[in-house]
Structure 1
Amino acid sequence: MTLSDQPPAAALVFQALLQYGPLSRAEVGRRTGLTPGAVTKVVTPLMADGWISELGRPATERGTGRPATLIAVCAERALFVGVKVTGEELIGVLTDLTAQSLASRRVRIDSRDVGTVVLAIARLVEELRTAAGSRSLHGIGVTISGDVDSQVGTVQYSPFLNWRRVPLAQLVEFAVGTPTIIENDVRALTVAEQWFGAGAGLSTFALVTVGAGIGAGLSIGGRVVSGAHGVAGEVGHLPVSGADRVCTCGNTGCVEAVASTHAIIEQCRQATGGLHLNMDDAVNLAHEGDLAVREVFTRAGHAVGLSLACIANLIGPERIIISGEGVASYDLFADHIRRGFLDHAFGAAAECDLVVRPLPFEEWARGGAAIAAQRVFAPDK
Structure 2
Amino acid sequence: MRSASPNEAVPATTPAASLVFTTVLSHGPITRTEIARRTKLSSAAVTKAVRPLMEIGYLVEDVGEGARRAIGRPANPVRVDGSRALFVGIKVTGDAIIAVLADLCCRILTARTVPLSGRRPAAVLADIVAVLHDLLTEADAIGGRVRGVGIAVSGDVDRAEGVVRYSPFLEWRDIPLAEIAGTATGLSVTVDNDVRALTRAEHWFGAGVGLSDFALVTVGAGIGCGLVVHGRVVSGAHGVAGEIGHLPIDPQGPLCYCGNRGCVEAVAADPAILRDVRAATGLPVADLAEALELARGADPRVRAVYARAGEAIGRAIASVVNILGPERVIISGEGLAAYDLFAAGIRDAFTRSAFGIAEQCDLTTRPLPFEEWARGAAATAIQSFIGSITLRATT
Quote the offset at 1:276 in angstroms. Answer: 4.0
Q: Does 1:111 align with 2:118?
A: yes
Counterpart residue number, 2:238: 229
CA distance in 1, matches of 2:329, 2:9: 35
Q: Note the residue ranges of structure 1 that are not aligned, 5 or more in a row.
A: none
CA distance in 2, matches of 1:33, 1:318: 20
Quote the offset at 1:25 in angstroms. Answer: 1.3
Q: Does 1:356 align with 2:365?
A: yes
Task: Give the length in aligned residue pairs.
Answer: 378
Please list, as runs of the form range in 1=range in 2, the aligned pairs for 1:135-174 lying within 5 A after superposition.
135-174=144-183
Counterpart residue number, 1:294: 303
CA distance in 2, matches of 1:164, 1:58: 58
Quote the offset at 1:269 in angstroms. Answer: 0.6
**Larger relative contact order (CA 8 Å, sep ≥ 6):** 2
Kept in 2: contact 1:153–1:182 (CA 8 A): yes
What SS does the aligned partner of 1:317 have?
coil
Query: Aligned in 2, Cα 1:55/1:2: closer, same or farther, shift over 3 Å?
Result: farther
Counterpart residue number, 1:305: 314
What SS does the aligned partner of 2:75 have?
strand
Counterpart residue number, 1:91: 98
Quote the offset at 1:149 in angstroms. Answer: 0.2
**What amino acid is the match of 1:77?**
R
Shifted more, 234-243 versus 297-306: the winner is 234-243
Quote the offset at 1:248 in angstroms. Answer: 1.3
Please list, as runs of the form range in 1=range in 2, the aligned pairs for 1:240-251 lying within 5 A after superposition.
240-241=249-250, 243-251=252-260
Q: Give the TM-score taking structure 1 as reference length.
A: 0.95
Query: Aligned in 2, Cα 1:121/1:312: closer, same or farther, shift over 3 Å?
Result: same
Kept in 2: contact 1:241–1:303 (CA 8 A): no
Query: Aligned in 2, Cα 1:367/1:3: closer, same or farther, shift over 3 Å?
Result: farther
Kept in 2: contact 1:83–1:142 (CA 8 A): yes
Shifted more, 236-245 versus 143-152: the winner is 236-245
CA distance in 1, matches of 2:258, 2:12: 42
Counterpart residue number, 2:184: 175
What SS does the aligned partner of 2:145 have?
coil
Q: Does 1:131 align with 2:138?
A: yes
Kept in 2: contact 1:58–1:69 (CA 8 A): no
Q: Pairwise CA RMSD of aligned residues?
A: 1.9
**What amino acid is the match of 1:345?**
A
| Percent of aligned pairs with the same amino acid | 51
Kept in 2: contact 1:302–1:339 (CA 8 A): yes
Q: Does 1:202 align with 2:211?
A: yes
Kept in 1: contact 2:212–2:228 (CA 8 A): yes
Quote the offset at 1:50 in angstroms. Answer: 0.5
Query: Aligned in 2, Cα 1:351/1:193: closer, same or farther, shift over 3 Å?
Result: same
What SS does the aligned partner of 1:307 have?
helix
Partner residue of 2:382 out of 331, 354, 373: 373
